[in-house]
Structure 1
Amino acid sequence: MTVSVETQKFIEENKRRYEELKAAGQQHAPKALPGPTPRGTLLPEGAAIHAETIPGGWYWSTPLKAGEALRIHLAHGPAAVSMIAWSDSDASERLNYADTVKVQWTSALGKGRVLFSDMGRVMFSLIEDTTGMHDALVGGSTPASNRARYGETVLRNTRDNFILEALKLGLDKRDIPPALTFFAPVRTDADGNFRWIDGARQQGDFVDLRAEMDLIVALSNCPHPMDPAPDYAPPPVEAIRFQAPAPAADDLCRTATIEAVRGFENNAR
């Protein structure tokens, strides 16, 4: 398809403006975010509130109060855990991974980043993370992706899991936002194609998510659509709700970018 001169100029001007805004946003970020959290790092003694084992293929939800945190732990082997969340006070405010990526100028989520709602507020801070390998682009599995990957055998999938969980919470499928998937090492190559990074996750990996408002959180433990493993065999995953340490004045997640600062200002309002 031939692109007109006017259209090409329009594309180039938008690209130039995007790069200017990106540079302005990133100049306020730290030169480098922390490296991965060491595997085997224990929770503070007495911090755990509740622990749950999510079997392979299944789902779970929990309330999470502001200041509490959720550890998603691959205690039994590599797995992919998809997550959606709603504000506990108003389910129309939901986790928004598009804004999370757009506002922070990156889809590479890890320690020091935050997760935004669709109302410009911060829902979670990623306070610990052993991998930095999470998917904010592809989303979770569906009946169609399972059929394409494993054939016609009926297998549990993230889309149906979240529909079932939403119904239990008095919501329906219209209330389900796109999911983030932790421990799904998806990246884009130079041509913009999605690639799965083999060996980027292992048993013992975990991520700690501090709630920055009262939330309802739903998790699904199903293989990611791009997981190259030939068999559908997700291991159990541990989910631990715990009391997070109070954030310091210079808390990295709250100060890493001017966009995060604005998000927490929106929370305060």
Structure 2
Amino acid sequence: MAEASRSEKYTGPYAAQQERYYRLFGGAKAKARDFSEATGNPATLPADLIRSRETVPGGWAHALPLARGETLRVLNTHGTPGVSLLFYNAKDRSERFNAGDTVKIQWNARLSRGRVLFSDMGRVLASITDDTFGHNDALTGGSTPASNAERYGDATLRNTRNNFILLASKNGLDKRDVPPCLTLFAPVGVDGGGMFRWEGEGPKPGDHVDLRAELDLLVFVSNAPHPFAPGDYAPKEIDLVVWNSPPPSADDFCRTATEEAVRGFENNARYLAALGEE
């Protein structure tokens, strides 16, 4: 259905809000770049660019620093259905990833290559510079003891919520500092009744997502399956590869793809200038 006529089907108390939403959405979409222009990164990274490589066993978690300009490659070596991440400003951990704003500001819940991840202060924490799978979930959240009990009949299985609380406690934070997360390799959609569901096939062994740090970051990674992942609880190991990606160019896709991203990077520039880190 064309954007111009989409609102015509709405009646009732929310018709005006829905009309406004699609009008604004249509305007933002018309001004955005074509996301097929986001070309990605080399499948095989040159050894001299790799700073570190960590293997995270299935069900476990890891915290790592990521300097501005470095890129974290999450390499799904066995096709595990879901790897969850949180991002904090390393210089001020009260600033952290905001899933709701990331989706809302970009008018897009299917985060993939070319999109950026916003903080709760309107700045860009990271850019998705490559993504061989193409569907990452910022709506559902990670697994919990309750979701594991419902899905697998065992609340004691390792889960993302408890993994993040543990990492928080080791890094001067607590459970109040654990916001909704981003889960990679998770094809979650919405059915006709408005319910979340797992859609289609999951990731293949070797799929990866590259996340370039736009500020100095502290990153939490939980290698536990998405709560909607099909099959038994059997997460496999993943690799976390930190590499020295080239500096972004003036027309870097992630920085220029949408007006919203441009404003986010303008906020970054003001913040970095105040810190003397232009």
Change (3 A) 1:221 1:9: same
Which residue in the other structure is 2:255 paired with?
254
The answer as to whether partners of 2:58 and 2:238 remain within 8 angstroms in 1 is yes
2:36 is paired with a residue whose SS is: coil
1:210 is paired with a residue whose SS is: strand
Alignment equivalent of 1:226, drawn from 206, 225, 228: 228
One-letter amino acid matched to 2:256: T
d(CA) in 1 for partners of 2:73, 2:154: 34
Deviation at 1:194, TM superposition (A): 1.8
Alignment equivalent of 2:78, drawn from 61, 76, 79: 76
Which residue in the other structure is 1:215 paired with?
217
Q: Give 1:173-188 correspondences, 5 Å limit.
A: 173-188=175-190
1:86 is paired with a residue whose SS is: strand
Which residue in the other structure is 1:21 paired with?
24
d(CA) in 2 for partners of 1:129, 1:234: 20
Q: Give 1:76-155 correspondences, 5 Å limit.
A: 76-152=78-154, 154-155=156-157
Deviation at 1:34, TM superposition (A): 4.3
Which residue in the other structure is 2:193 paired with?
191
d(CA) in 2 for partners of 1:88, 1:78: 28
**Cα offsets for 1:230-262 (capped at 9, x unmatched):** x21100000011111111111110000000000
The answer as to whether partners of 2:35 and 2:114 remain within 8 angstroms in 1 is no
How many residues end up aligned between the 2 structures? 260
Identity %: 52
Instruction: Give TM-score scaled by structure 1 length.
Output: 0.92
Deviation at 1:18, TM superposition (A): 1.1
Alignment equivalent of 2:33, drawn from 25, 30, 34: 30
**Cα offsets for 1:193-237 (capped at 9, x unmatched):** 2221232410010000000000100000001110111x2110000
1:90 is paired with a residue whose SS is: coil
d(CA) in 2 for partners of 1:67, 1:174: 29
d(CA) in 1 for partners of 2:203, 2:224: 15
**What are structure 2's unaligned runs of at least 5 residues?**
1-10, 271-278
d(CA) in 1 for partners of 2:202, 2:176: 34
d(CA) in 1 for partners of 2:188, 2:32: 23
d(CA) in 2 for partners of 1:142, 1:260: 32
Change (3 A) 1:153 1:268: closer
Which residue in the other structure is 1:4 paired with?
none
The answer as to whether partners of 1:133 and 1:201 remain within 8 angstroms in 2 is no
Instruction: Give TM-score scaled by structure 2 length.
Output: 0.89
1:33 is paired with a residue whose SS is: helix
